Each structure stands twice: as C-alpha cells, then as structure tokens.
Structure 1
Amino acid sequence: MASTVLIFSASLIALFLFSLTGVNANAGSNVFSMQSYGARGDGLHDDTKALRDAWAAACSSAKPAVLLIPKGKKYLNRHTILSGPCKSNIVLMSNLMASPKRSDWSKETIRHWILISGVTSLTITGGGTIDGNGKIWWQNSCKTNSNLPCTEAPMALTLHACKNLKVEDLKVVNSQQIQISVEDCTDVKMSPVSITAPETSPNTDDIHITRSRDVQVMDCTIKTGDDCMSIQDRTENLHVNNMVCGPRHGISIGSLGDHNSEAHVSNVTVDNGRLYGTTNGARIKTWQGGKGSAKNIVFQNMKSAVEVSDVLFKNIRGTSASEEAIMLHCSSSVPCHGITLEYVKLTVKGGSNDVRSTCQNAEWKKSGSVSPQPCSFKN
C-alpha cells in the first residue's frame, strides 16, 4: 500500500515546426532537410525513412548540423530511433505526427515513438509541434474502459543518455502516453515547452525525469490528464521554475520504493509554480517496504486558488445590511470568469439608494438591469 507525504496541496483551480529563423545555423553549419530525403509532409504518407536518413546524414557531419523538417507540413512517422554518438553538434527542427494506427507498433517498439539516444550537444528547437495522435490509444486503455486489457502505449519523445541537451520552444500535443521522458541524461535545459492533451487522457504524464542530473525546466505550460511532472529514482540537481500546471495531478516525486525497491532523489527545487485544478498539487509518493531517500527537496512560491466560473445570479431583489451590497472579489492568480448578473436590484436597509459595490479580478456580464454595478462589464 502506498504511503504519501503531502508537501503542498493545491486547491482545485484556480518537434517542432521549424524554419531557420532565429536558429543558430550559421554559414558554417550543414543543413539536412527531410524533404531532400524523400519526405512528403502530407500527413498521409509514411516519412519515417526520410527522418532516419536525414538524421544519419546530420549525425555523420563533421560540421555543426541542422536537421530541418520544413515549416507548414505534417510528417507522419512510426517508431523511430535517432542515435549517437554524432561527429558534431546537431540542431533538430521538425513538425512530426505519429501514425494513427496502433498496428504500426510491435511488441518490441510499443514503448517509444521518437527515441533519441546517446547524443551530446543536441538542441531541439524551432517552434513546432510533436503530435502523438493519442486518441486511438486512450480509447483502448483499461483506464478508459475497464473491460479492456491493460497494455502499454508509446511515449511521444524519449531523451536517453544525452549530454548537454537543450529543448527550446517546443510543443507536444496528444501523446499516446508519457509526453517527454528524460532518462539517464546529464546537463539538460528545457525552456519554454508547452504540453497539452485532454484532461481525460489516461497516463499522459508530461515531463518524466529519471536517472538524470543537472536538469533545468523553466517557463513550461502543461495541461494534460496526469502528472505535470513525474520525478523518479536517481534524479539529482533538478530545478523547476515558473511552471503553469493543471488540471489533474500536479507535480509528483515518486512513486518511490515500489516492489520493495531502493530509490534516491535529491536536490530538487520547484519554484514559482502556478497550479490550476490539480487534485494533489505538489507531493512526494512513497511505498511501504521500499528503501532509499528523498532529501533536499524544496517546493516554494507556489500559488493556487479555488477557480470560480460560470455562475448566474438571477432575479435578486432586496436590501443590504451594509452600503456595500455586491462584492465580487477573486484571486489575482486565478480570476473569476463567466459570472452573470441578471435582473439584480439591491438597496440599503431603510430604502436608501446610496449603495456601493466592489469588484476585484472578476470578469462578469449583465442581462437586464443590474444595480449597483460592481465594475466594468461585458455585454
């Protein structure tokens, strides 16, 4: 049975699309475009071989290389391994979409969609999207339908045994399962990264970190169906700053020590987090019977509030005991929205019309007459 140490409980609230613009690809860099290797980019034909061939050419380049997946197209890919070591630094730029067919994954490849392994000095950048096309996997999950058998599903992007790794200006959407997994890596910087999937999508953990050290995750926005971050065994020197997280499960260390195992996590700082609609907030999860340690952990400057939305006040008449008859006061971090006042008339006790109201961090609209009006409104 799992035992949980709750560090901070948030209340319920409140790769790659690329051009060369802004990328460090100077005249000394070799550019390898997927289209030069036969990619169609129509979202229908399989471009897996083109990606692998372009990677092989970039990885063997003696000069710094750019693997370019041109802007404005969708490159359909099945399971792909992009491995090193490479002869020089690589900048990877792409807009990739997973095959929608579960049959394109075998028992041997089912855990990974894009796996990048053993590369030093890799930058993933460019402002584009990795689309996991996860709907078919979610529909066949035992967590969606308890009558179905529980099976594994691919992780969208796995970064394995990489050093001096940068992930910048990347969007990941609708992963089949885990969105980004960082495994056995050193010196990793991720900023900014946007990850989205439906709240109901099962097991779509966002940033999963294990057996890695010296990792920085900054300015990331995460909205999916599971943990915003999953921090696992042998994570050391992790700094997370300015993360927007929610809904679902929040930021988790663990589970640690399952199946009587030994696990160690140390020197983790989560700073300036904003949590929306998370069921647990920030937490450390451990298992009875396990051993090891979770030490030097800091959760600080984290904000949460109860989100108030879609509220109707209708046909309200009466007198107020104080001159301040209406107060719409909401959190500055999570403002109220969708508030409607419909036919409201309030006066001060004794019949005086000298009635006041105040409004803070609230977006509202009126239907019919409203008096007093708490602040500027939207029709």
Structure 2
Amino acid sequence: MVRYSYIRVPGLLRMIEAGGIRVIVTIAKGAPLRITTISILVSPKRTFAVGFIPSSSNSYFFAVWVHKSSNKTVIFNGSDTYWPATATICDLSSDGKLLMDNANSYIVADDGIHPHLVLILCLTFVGVTKTYGQEHFNVLDFKAVGDGDTDDTEAFQNAWDKTCGSTGARSTMIVPADKTFLVMPTIFQGPCKPTSVHVQGLRVHQCNDTVVSGLSFADSPQTHLTIYGCQGFNVTWLNITAPQTSPNTDGIHVQASQHVKIQDTVIGTGDDCISIGDRVHDIVIERITCGPGHGVSVGSLGKGRRDVLVDEIHVSYVQMFNTTNGARIKTWQGATGSASRISFEHINVTNVKNPIVIDQYYCDSDDECPIKEKAVHISNVTFAYLTGTSKTKTAVTLNCSQTVPCTGVHLKNVNLTAVSSPNDTKVSCINVHGDTSGYVYPTIACLH
C-alpha cells in the first residue's frame, strides 16, 4: 500500500459523505486517499497534493496542487469504479457516483508549477436531481424537562434518532437555551440520512471521557462550545462560524478542565477562535484553521483578582488568517497564581494584527484599569516556528508586569514581517526575561 503524508498549506480539507457513502479520491492507480482530516494529502514523492476547500455551507471545491510535476492524470473514485478527471464541474450524487460534464481527461503538464489551484471541481452533498426540506426536532417535544434534576437522556436520544433518521437535507435537533438538561452518558450515533448536522451552541459540564466530533456550529450569541469541569475531552472535525463583527462569540472555551484535545477544526468568529480559562491542565490544540477572529488565547486570566493555576498548554500547526491576534496570553492586574509551560509552535499567520502577544495589563473595561502590584506569574513560554505576515508594524508584543515579570520566555525560529514594512518590523516588550535561538525576526533585543 502506498503511504501518504500530511502537511499544512493554505487550504481546508473536508470529509465528504453523501447517503452514507464516503468519497474516495485516488491518484492514478495508487491506494485510495480517504478524506478524514483538515489537512492536505501529499504524494509520497511530494510532487502533488490534493484537498477539499469549502465554498459554501453545502458544497466544496476539490483542489490539486502541483510543483514541478511530471505528467500525471488525476483519477477520482466515488464508488467502486475509477473515474478519470474529465470535467471542470462535477456533482456527487447520493449513491456516491461522480457526475461529470465532459469527457476530457485532465493531465498536468511537465512544466506546470502551480502553488495554488490547478483543477477545481465542485462537489455537492446530494444529487442535483433531489430536493429536500428542513425539519426541526425539539427535545421538549420528546418529554425532556430541563430542570437540571430530571433525567432527560431518553428524550435526547429519541430526538436524536428522529433528527438522524430524517429524510431532509438539513434537520436540526433543538435544545432550548433557557433550560438545564441532565443527560447521562450516551452516544448520538450515525451515519445519518441528512448530510449536515447544525449546532448553534453547546455547553458540556463535568463530563469525563467525552468526544464531540463532526458537528457544525453557527451564529451562537455567545461561546459556541464551552468545556467546563471535564477530564478526558476530545474535540475533532468541527466547523464553527459567526460574523466577524459579533462580540463574545468565542469558538471554543475551556475552563476548569484537564486532558483536553482540540484537533482538525475550522473556526471563524468575532472573538477568540479558542480561549483557555483558569484551572486548566494538559490542553493540546493542533491542526486548527482560525479566521476571522481573535486568534488562540490563553486567558483572559485573573479577572476579579483570582488566584490562577494554568499549565501545560500546547498549541501547534495552526493557520490564522486576518485575525486580530495570533498566539496570545492575557492576564488581569491584581490577580495571583501562575500560567506556565505554554507553547505555540508551527503556526502560520497571514495579515494578523498582533501575531505574538503576552499582555499582563489586559483590560477590556470602558474605564481605565488602575495599576496594581500583584500579577499572574507567566513562565516557561515558547514561541517556535511562527511565520507569516503582520497587519501592523509591531509583530511581537511582550508586555509584562514590573513587579511580577515574565520569566523563561523563549523564541525559536520566528519569522514575522509587517505587510507595510517588511524590512522594518518592530517589537514592543517590557519586563521580559528569556532568550532566543535560531533565526528570529524581528530581533527581540529587549529580553533580559
């Protein structure tokens, strides 16, 4: 079997399913590529890559990236039969077949150097000959109570079964926001007949060994997914969207939790793509696409002069586009405690206003926040392999407390350039103790 590796490029990959049949993309007569993660699949010799890019809520572009390739014919497989790439447009029918509009194979030329799209094919979730309506299933209609004491597990399961079994193109399971539901450990299992599952907002409270996967969240008035008081929590393959101008619409917020993994997820909102609150330990965030939004933030921590305890936060392989911030740590004055062993690695930013930020003077009040002596101690922080462009001239801001300075801050192989002045990118920092290694631009001369 041919093995394929994974790399990050500016593109999004999506698993496409129609009528329970997974799309398989095959290159020539090699092994099938199963589209399962937000990554780009690369050929063994790295001569080409393939991936899916969402173009709307119900359709995707298939893309082929080629670099100095020899002649290659791209072959598709939507069922058990090989299909040559013979179309500029094709539809994915509900039986898994690819329907193409002409009969000419697509061959990549020897001298083709295409860093972006070479071939684009539009794939829709269901066949073009079928039209379905929308259905809604409210858990209250299935005898859920929502008082926080009554066991509503059966009602939720029955509502899910109806939602999953609906013949509509999009069916919604409604959980009212003004109630608290007690649901015992259960599995909302597919495959489902509808081709999309939509969630507006979800709060998971004190759940252990939990998986949330394959959902789409849209337009929540507050945080889309809140993980609170949980241990052993895995998040994968989510798609979270909200208007760029909507405040407090964090994608995912983690608080008072341990051993959490957030992977292979696309987030674009009006606030933090992912935010880490107080009392958290061992959080892994990787293979995330973020934008628009406020980046990935540890904090804000210590509001109300609380004692903070945050450690082992590791963020890696993140793509950020047009965000306000990139990799950020933010704490309020007057608090105590610590935030330590935090790493941001292998992150690419494009047109990000503040790519790297540590701010111990964070204040989102309309009134000016008075200076306080106490502060959360930020220590053992690593920014490594961060590359890309800054929307502002200052690409790195390390603003630490005079009385409780940041310690053990390490920057390694960082290359950030301002869009407006690539050769004159700036750094702003105060009260920071640490070092650099490898190539670091802009130069961090203010580290002690």
TM-score by length of 1: 0.51
Contact 2:153 2:183 in 1 (8 A): no
Q: Specify whether residues 41 and 224 from structure 1 end up closer, same or farther in structure 2 by C-alpha distance, changes over 3 A only.
A: same
- 1:287 Cα deviation after fit: 1.2
| Root mean square deviation, CA, Å | 3.7
Unaligned runs of 5+ in 2: 1-16, 22-132, 146-150, 353-386, 390-448
Q: Are positions 1:56 and 2:153 aligned together?
A: yes
Q: Specify whether residues 51 and 283 from structure 1 end up closer, same or farther in structure 2 by C-alpha distance, changes over 3 A only.
A: farther
Secondary structure in 2 aligned to 1:199? Answer: coil
- 1:277 Cα deviation after fit: 0.8
**Equivalent in 185, 188, 199 of residue 91 of structure 1:** 188
Alignment of 1:223-302 (within 5 A): 223-302=268-347
Q: Are positions 1:190 and 2:259 aligned together?
A: no
**Equivalent in 196, 201, 206 of residue 251 of structure 2:** 206
Identity within the alignment, %: 31
Alignment of 1:31-42 (within 5 A): 42=135
Contact 2:163 2:172 in 1 (8 A): no
RCO comparison, higher one (Cα < 8 Å, 6+): 1
1:121-167 superposed Cα distances (whole Å, 9 cap, x missing partner): xxxxx85111x3xxxxxxxxxxxxxxxxxxxxxxx210000011001
Contact 1:41 1:76 in 2 (8 A): no
Residue type at the aligned position of 1:69:
T
- 1:19 Cα deviation after fit: 10
Q: Specify whether residues 177 and 277 from structure 1 end up closer, same or farther in structure 2 by C-alpha distance, changes over 3 A only.
A: same
Q: Specify whether residues 185 and 46 from structure 1 end up closer, same or farther in structure 2 by C-alpha distance, changes over 3 A only.
A: closer
Structure 1 counterpart of 2:176: 78
Separation in 2 of the partners of 1:94 and 1:158? 24
Q: Specify whether residues 177 and 231 from structure 1 end up closer, same or farther in structure 2 by C-alpha distance, changes over 3 A only.
A: same
Secondary structure in 2 aligned to 1:242? Answer: strand
> How many residue pairs were aligned?
218
Unaligned runs of 5+ in 1: 1-17, 23-39, 96-125, 133-155, 308-331, 335-379
Separation in 2 of the partners of 1:20 and 1:266? 44
Separation in 2 of the partners of 1:234 and 1:66? 33
TM-score by length of 2: 0.43
Q: Specify whether residues 21 and 162 from structure 1 end up closer, same or farther in structure 2 by C-alpha distance, changes over 3 A only.
A: farther
Contact 1:59 1:90 in 2 (8 A): no
- 1:224 Cα deviation after fit: 0.7
Contact 1:199 1:225 in 2 (8 A): yes
Contact 1:264 1:293 in 2 (8 A): yes
Contact 2:172 2:197 in 1 (8 A): no
Contact 1:197 1:224 in 2 (8 A): yes
Separation in 2 of the partners of 1:188 and 1:51? 28
1:337-375 superposed Cα distances (whole Å, 9 cap, x missing partner): xxxxxxxxxxxxxxxxxxxxxxxxxxxxxxxxxxxxxxx
Contact 1:94 1:128 in 2 (8 A): no
Structure 1 counterpart of 2:73: none
Contact 1:19 1:68 in 2 (8 A): no
- 1:285 Cα deviation after fit: 0.5
Separation in 2 of the partners of 1:333 and 1:127? 34
Separation in 1 of the partners of 2:191 and 2:208? 21
Larger radius of gyration: 1
Alignment of 1:155-170 (within 5 A): 156-170=201-215
Separation in 2 of the partners of 1:289 and 1:203? 23
Separation in 2 of the partners of 1:273 and 1:168? 19
